[in-house]
Amino acid sequence: MVWRGREGDDERAVGARIEALRNDINTSTSDGLGAVAHATQIGSYFTENMVIELGEGTSPIHGRDTLIGIAARLQTRTAAFRLELDDVSVEMVPGGRAADVLLTASFVRRVASTGEESRDAREFSLVCEKDAGTWRIARVTAIDTLR
């Protein structure tokens, strides 16, 4: 809409990028070459020096190449999950080159024995950066809602 400024457009762009990442994660493949291509596609949503911190008890993931390797290896396991994102809020950092994102990610898995879905929800904080006109995720930090 005309009255919305540039910041509003950027917020929408960041939100759309995160939604696209969710769609790509949920579009799974398990054959060898397809898995590598899929992992590379997921990696393209992140900056080269990205960091993922999943909290206590896990080592942080440093760098896009490491993430692509992990994503390719875990393809068969992650294919069993569906990712849902809720309550995504985007706040631009002054200057417009970065954005802080807060969201709830749910990993939904269907239990084969009962047919019921099990959901593991966690809150994440993301830092996104604009790189050559494209928004990419530079940092993902899991937030401990219960400590």
List contacts with another protein (CB under 8 A). Answer: 86-89, 102-104, 106, 116-119, 121-124, 144-147
Burial profile 120-136: b = 16 or more Cβ within 10 angstroms, e = fewer: eeeebebbbbbeeeebb
What is the signed CA dihedral for 62, 66, 72, 74, rounded to 10 degrees? -50
Helix (H, G, I), strand (E, B) or coil at 6: helix
Residue 134 beta carbon to another protein: minimum distance, rounded to whole angstroms: 24
Residue 116 beta carbon to another protein: minimum distance, rounded to whole angstroms: 6
Q: Which is nearer to another protein, 5 or 115 (CB)?
A: 115
Residue 19 beta carbon to another protein: minimum distance, rounded to whole angstroms: 15
Q: Which is nearer to another protein, 13 or 142 (CB)?
A: 142
Q: Which is nearer to another protein, 31 or 117 (CB)?
A: 117
Q: Which is nearer to another protein, 26 or 104 (CB)?
A: 104
* CA distance to 2, 10, 35, 62, 77, per residue, from 138 (Å): 30, 16, 23, 10, 25
Taking Cα atoms as reference points, which of 31, 25, 27 lies closest to residue 46?
Answer: 25
Residue 65 beta carbon to another protein: minimum distance, rounded to whole angstroms: 29
